[in-house]
Chains A and B, each alone.
Chain A
Amino acid sequence: MSDPTGFDSGEGQGARNLPPLKLHVPEPPARPGEAADFTHFEIPPVGAQPRPDEAAAPADMRDLAYGLVRVLDEDGQTAGPWNPKLPPETLLKMLRAMALTRAFDGRMFRAQRQGKTSFYMKSTGEEAVSIGAALALARDDMCFPSYRQQGILIARDWPLVDMINQIYSNKGDRLKGRQLPIMYSARDAGFFSISGNLTTQYPQAVGWAMASAAKGDTRIAATWCGEGSTAEGDFHSACTFASVYRAPVIMNIVNNQWAISSFSGFAGAESTTFAARAVGYGIAGLRVDGNDVLAVYAATRWAADRARANGGPTLIEHFTYRVEGHSTSDDPTAYRSAEESSLWPLGDPIARLKQHCIAIGIWDEERHAAMDRELAELVRDAAREAEKNGILGHGLHHPMESMFEDVFEEMPWHLQEQKQQMLDEWKAAGL
């Protein structure tokens, strides 16, 4: 309300007859019992996004942070400048790695329900994000993943038994049973140790990339976080460092719409895209159909080539959907529409690639069904093999004194004392 005299009182607008301010608390379009609604998503047609030269200045490609790079259309056909035109063997390798990841997730989810381990996290619906990137990167590039990128290890042919040993925290677990299941570490696979603290891996990946650049190496780093954890300070610190030093790093945001029960609006999705975070930092930003493995591959390859040519970092938002719960400890029916996952407009990444492979005549339903059976057996056999090393809580773990190892390079006196105390206690208890 303005002052009727037309004069400003000189006291701002305090204590006058103004409407009360309102706090905006975001709310997702649909809750349990309501119809899922994706009409607010703008899905541009395949091929609509231009593909700039890898050396393009970030300022000249801002629109790509707001669009959606897509290669595979609804009929399984490819189109547009981002089509990576991969040979059949690569397409089938992608298909197999995605299907294997899904089979692995299914088996390990059941293993958790059977009490063989404490916890599991599936990547259902997001397989393309990991597999597309893993195949676009060089085998010796270093990945700093979050907790839903098991597909990288699978695409890099890391032994399933090794992964399951970790999930079972058994005596074959290379991490000596210290980490929560799925928090793998596999240096030889270029897979950095996963942290439960969100987005801490972001500045670490940038530091690794900076080190590689400072040493005149040719390897680059890539990192992943969820859209929710872009709110963490580490994310912004990492973007600043990456931009300032033009670090050869690819920063992936997996926008799977849900951070446990908080929808992406709580990370700022109502205001802009996550790829647009790049714009403020002067970083190349791409928004990609995360359920289109060819788009993920093409974007990652573009970013990797850019990094290797000293063009600096790229931020990629993978627009996808978390089909399952956050983890085995989560029940998504308690906070979101039950039909959401089936109505996700960008489809299923495996079904889409399968359709493409069939459309171009290198695949068929029979072979796909046979592959699924074969992969299920592969995972089953690996799980049985790993079970020989024990399952969680059944006594086949690393020696108890291993608890005190690796805190420091050499065990200091106070840890030696505590180790001895523990061993004496167990001995006295007759165990």
Chain B
Amino acid sequence: MNMIQAINSALDVMMDRDPDVVVMGEDVGYFGGVFRATAGLQQKYGKNRVFDTPITECGIIGVAVGMGAYGLRPVPEIQFADYIYPALDQLVSEAARLRYRSAGEFISPMTVRSPFGGGIFGGQTHSQSPEGIFTHVSGVKTVIPSTPYDAKGLLIAAIEDNDPTIFFEPKRIYNGPFDGHYDTPAKSWAGHPDAQVPTGYYRIPLGKARTARAGGALTILCYGTMVHVVENTVAAMGVDAEIVDLRTLVPLDIEAIEESVRKTGRCLIVHEATRTSGFGAELLAQVQERCFYYLEAPIERVTGFDTPYPHSLEWAYFPGPVRIREAITKIMKD
């Protein structure tokens, strides 16, 4: 399965298991979503459980809060993560805090799915990575898969979770892994070991990172599309790096991070999102606080730039192999 099919399969499995799971969003019903992630679900489960919505993100999330309070388990889709901002108040002030402010009387067990990230010439309104906004908010979980296998297992865990979860889908790798070189044709997930996705139920617990590649010289913390770009760069450089795919940013697998950095003594953090106050800053602070005496070189960050996402200059913006290679070389020099 590619990542879209894996996500579709997760939704199918959960809708089949739990009659309270409902899928809603712009174009998700009859058409099955602009990325086809919800294809076939309305035909199978009916319009009461899979339906198109008006174009109002604050309405979609607000309605999902009410549905969750009723006792359903909504899985709203925000068509592009760039469009999540109109829904921010409902996510931040309502969904994230409903359990807390009502001392558990009402909960908001929703899973907000949203394609995010760049590398598809989507311009500044179809490319952003807003995960740092949500990791800053108390009460929401943030999940970002990097493989079809993880996408299905993590999405199932997110839907079963009783807390609101933001599930960001790296759309650049929906249809195949990506080596980070803009001029290489899109690859396919066919034959990839992480595309061996069981058709039935399985879950990957939230808050557990994955060692994408074991190594001893350097720890690279990354997630989503960047896992693939980092894997490719490390392979090309022949460096003995350990690649930790975080999978869940909140709750963060701090033990896996600590264990790896203490072992290697070096740490690089890579994400697509803009640099200032990005999630990399939190990772850097955590590593500094917990592993300072184990470090042999300053911690480095490779990120997107602090500009809006440019269209024609996308590949100069995107944190690709060149930027990652420079950072690894710098860290390994000390």
Contact = CB atoms under 8 A, between A and B. Distances in A.
A195 interface: yes
Contacts of A178: 100-101, 103
Given A195-B94, A234-B90, A409-B163, A174 B103 contact: yes
Interface in B73-110: 74, 86, 89-90, 93-94, 98-107
Contacts of A208: 66-67, 69-70
Nearest to B87: A237
B56 A200 contact: no
B94 A413 contact: no
Interface string B47-78: 01101011010110111111111111010000
A244 interface: yes
Contacts, number: 146
A234 B103 contact: no
Contacts of B63: 203-204, 206-207, 210, 241
B252 A237 contact: no
Interface residues of B, number: 48
Kindly name the residue among B58, B68, B107 whose own CB sees the greatest number of chain A CB atoms within 10 A.
Answer: B58
Given A193-B105, A197-B94, A409-B162, A209 B56 contact: no
Interface size range on A against B: 35 or more
B207 interface: yes
Contacts of B59: 203, 206, 234, 237-238, 240-241
Contacts of A405: 103
B67 A203 contact: no
A174 B89 CA distance: 25
A161 interface: no
A150 interface: no
B320 to A, nearest CB: 32
Contacts of A142: 69-70
B131 to A, nearest CB: 16
A205 B105 CA distance: 16
Contact of A185 (B68, B105, B138): B105
Given A175-B102, A185-B103, A238-B62, A211 B94 contact: no
A175 B99 CA distance: 10
Given A185-B102, A187-B105, A203 B62 contact: yes
A211 to B, nearest CB: 4
A200 B93 contact: yes
B25 interface: no
Given A407-B139, A413-B254, A200 B102 contact: no
Contact of B67 (A179, A207, A233): A207
Interface of A: 142, 144, 174-176, 178-179, 183, 185-187, 192-193, 195, 197, 200, 202-212, 214-215, 221, 233-234, 236-238, 240-241, 244-245, 405-409, 412-414
23 contacts: A144-B66, A175-B101, A178-B101, A183-B101, A186-B105, A195-B101, A197-B93, A200-B93, A203-B66, A204-B69, A206-B62, A207-B64, A207-B69, A209-B66, A210-B63, A210-B67, A237-B56, A237-B58, A238-B59, A240-B56, A245-B51, A406-B103, A409-B163
